[in-house]
Structure 1
């Protein structure tokens, strides 16, 4: 970039996105628009955002793993199915219009927000399923959300967290860890493609990535030290931002 202005716009917003992403997912709803506001072309914005997000997610994944929140035996099959779903979702984009999924999200998001508001706490005691049933539900959720991630993407981490806790009855801390492993895998997969095609703005991506690392570090500290009471407000903020974003894209 020719000036420092894009750095001044992008870096603070990427820090906040990393913080939110570490706690509740959905940080891309903040960071991707930041690149576009800074004047980065669309393809460059998507690719460079993927780089900074991947750098931050490495730290979040490491810290969740170090805290014992990742059940690797259950998480790795989820990664495989999420990657498969993401590939299928990317292929679907060639067949369907993005507008159709945006219209669908206008109905899904309010229902999701209502579930978060009126449902039990995300870390409420749930009767755990058998190991086999938990794995089956987890990989199905990962596969479906992987398709969504490949097709559209925003809010993937938030939806994963809600579904893994609500449907698969996985505890919040393990669900958060599994979400980070999946996000890291899909981020790296997409980043490799972008790097090979030369669309990543490396200087901006590296600097923004450092801010993403800092945001993710702060976010994981909030999650591990302050408890889970902060998760629901963060998720609701993400859902509201997402809803406004979809409305703007459809009718703006």
Structure 2
């Protein structure tokens, strides 16, 4: 039973996480603990978080798309595999224990933060791509599976891999990340909903906050570009690392 007063509180939290997600990802670092501390069971927290995030990401994706920052057609194959991977991940996570991931993922996040910090390609300048859009599709599918299965740091993994492999500038990579994030969120919500693991009224209330935050965050990212996105990606990766390690040792 969720107390009535928690609805506006969690909606306000969703605004903050929507803003963060629209720029750098990592909003789950705040949203998931907030849901769990509110008494929401873990699987219901995952499903409800995916629901509100799907709406917030949709607004950010729309804003980026309207500015011509998303190459829709070439990246459809990757989006399809992201959807399939996330659906499989959301199905699997309802059957297994993910505790060991809380120890493994921090290592990947630290490596990701180090890459963002030292890579000269983390700018708004496009570079020569190492793989084609179809070649990137399996990578997107793997990250999609991870997002459906566990989730923390997904936005950072998408953004970094799109810069490193597809040669996108950081703002365009962030924009395309929202497309992939929305796709994986949609798949996860469908699977969690089929499993009865979504608190719909709470999730839709939080969606109002997430959409407002996503709108503001995407406009902020487009205004300031890589000089804002790059440090926030590093902060998100390090923050998620600390949060996961704290959860493991606690």
What TM-score, normalized by structure 1, do the two folds share? Answer: 0.89
CA distance in 2, matches of 1:137, 1:8: 44
Contact 1:9-1:34 within 8 A present in 2 as well: no
Q: How many residues align?
A: 250
Give the structure 2 partner of residue 220 of structure 1: 218
1:236 corresponds, among 234, 237, 240, to 234
Deviation at 1:10, TM superposition (A): 1.6
Instruction: Give the CA RMSD over aligned residues.
Output: 2.3
Deviation at 1:247, TM superposition (A): 0.8
CA distance in 2, matches of 1:49, 1:186: 13
CA distance in 2, matches of 1:30, 1:58: 19
Contact 2:19-2:215 within 8 A present in 1 as well: yes
Contact 2:57-2:214 within 8 A present in 1 as well: yes
1:67 and 2:70 matched: no
1:179 and 2:193 matched: no
CA distance in 1, matches of 2:135, 2:227: 25
> What is the SS of the residue equivalent to 2:175?
helix
What TM-score, normalized by structure 2, do the two folds share? Answer: 0.89
Give the structure 1 partner of residue 42 of structure 2: 42
- Runs of at least 4 residues off by over 6 Å: none
Deviation at 1:87, TM superposition (A): 4.1
Q: Which moved more, 1:155-164 or 1:233-242?
A: 233-242
1:200 and 2:192 matched: no
CA distance in 2, matches of 1:169, 1:63: 22
Write the deviation string for residues 109-143 of structure 1: whole angstroms up to 9, x where unpaired.
2222222222225225453238xx32144213202
After superposition, the Cα gap between the structure-2 partners of 1:76 and 1:54, relative to the gap in structure 1 and judged at 3 Å, is same
1:191 and 2:189 matched: yes
Contact 1:6-1:39 within 8 A present in 2 as well: no
Task: In structure 1, list runs of 5 or more residues that go unmatched.
Answer: none
> What is the SS of the residue equivalent to 2:100?
helix
1:124-203 equivalence runs, <5 A: 125=125, 127-129=127-129, 133-203=131-201
Deviation at 1:154, TM superposition (A): 1.3
Contact 2:87-2:187 within 8 A present in 1 as well: no
After superposition, the Cα gap between the structure-2 partners of 1:219 and 1:94, relative to the gap in structure 1 and judged at 3 Å, is closer
After superposition, the Cα gap between the structure-2 partners of 1:60 and 1:148, relative to the gap in structure 1 and judged at 3 Å, is same
CA distance in 2, matches of 1:154, 1:213: 20
1:52 and 2:39 matched: no
